[in-house]
Amino acid sequence: MSNEIVYDTAGINDISELVRLRIAYMIDDFGSISDKERQCMEEQLPGYFERKLGNELIAFVARAEERLVAAAYLLIIEKPANPFLLNGLDSEVLSVYTEPGYRKKGICSQLMNNMIEYAKANGICRIDLVATKEGYPVYKKLGFEDRIQKYLDMRMKLVK
């Protein structure tokens, strides 16, 4: 295994690798996925990445051995301006994933630093994320803070 890691952002030519890593992330996060769930993701994700990549979705990636070994997505969301988002640019971190053989090497921290620098350079007001227990210390060290909210999170599921 080569030790050289190259960091950049993914482009259209990386879509099949992004699909592979997204599914690996889901399996890692949920423990398993059904064949139907995998099939649905394999059908939806390529078109999604084609439409959104480089615009509303920036994929920060680490490359090694001629493939992607890690990814972290920044979803940019334009909202009406408010006191916290004076220009309306909000963002959310999605699917931070590193292949098992590349974990504990600082790759996630580097991807997140690259993401933070990109967000600052592009006028994004804030970055939100939901952390796993494993990721929490990494994000705290990078400067993310626990959110204390006066509002309660709610959700309505419309499609199963």
Domain boundaries, the chain: 6-142
Instruction: Say what the pTM is.
Output: 0.92
Please tell me the predicted confidence (pLDDT) of residue 9: 98
Place of tokens 């933070």: 116
- Distance CA(49)–CA(58), nearest Å, equals 10
Instruction: Give CATH for domain 6-142.
Output: 3.40.630.30
Contact 72, 58 (CB under 8 A): no
- Distance CA(112)–CA(74), nearest Å, equals 9
Which of 16-25, 41-50, 129-138 is predicted least confidently? Answer: 129-138
Residues 134-149, mean pLDDT to the nearest whole number: 94
Q: Which helix (H) or strand (E) holds 28?
A: helix 15-30
Pick the closest to residue 55 from 6, 112, 11 (CA basis).
Answer: 11
Which residues are CB-neighbours of 117 under 8 A, at least 6 positions away? none
Q: Does residue 2 carry a pLDDT above 60?
A: no
Please tell me the predicted confidence (pLDDT) of residue 149: 87
Per DSSP, the residues of 93-157 read EEEEEE-GGGTTSSHHHHHHHHHHHHHHHTT----B----TTTHHHHHHHT------SSPP----
Please tell me the predicted confidence (pLDDT) of residue 159: 82
Contact 14, 68 (CB under 8 A): yes
Please tell me the predicted confidence (pLDDT) of residue 96: 97
Q: What confidence category does residue 135 fall into, taking pLDDT thresholds of 50, 70 and 90?
A: very high
pLDDT tens digits for 32-91?
999 999 999 999 999 999 999 999 999 999 999 999 999 999 999 999 999 989 999 999
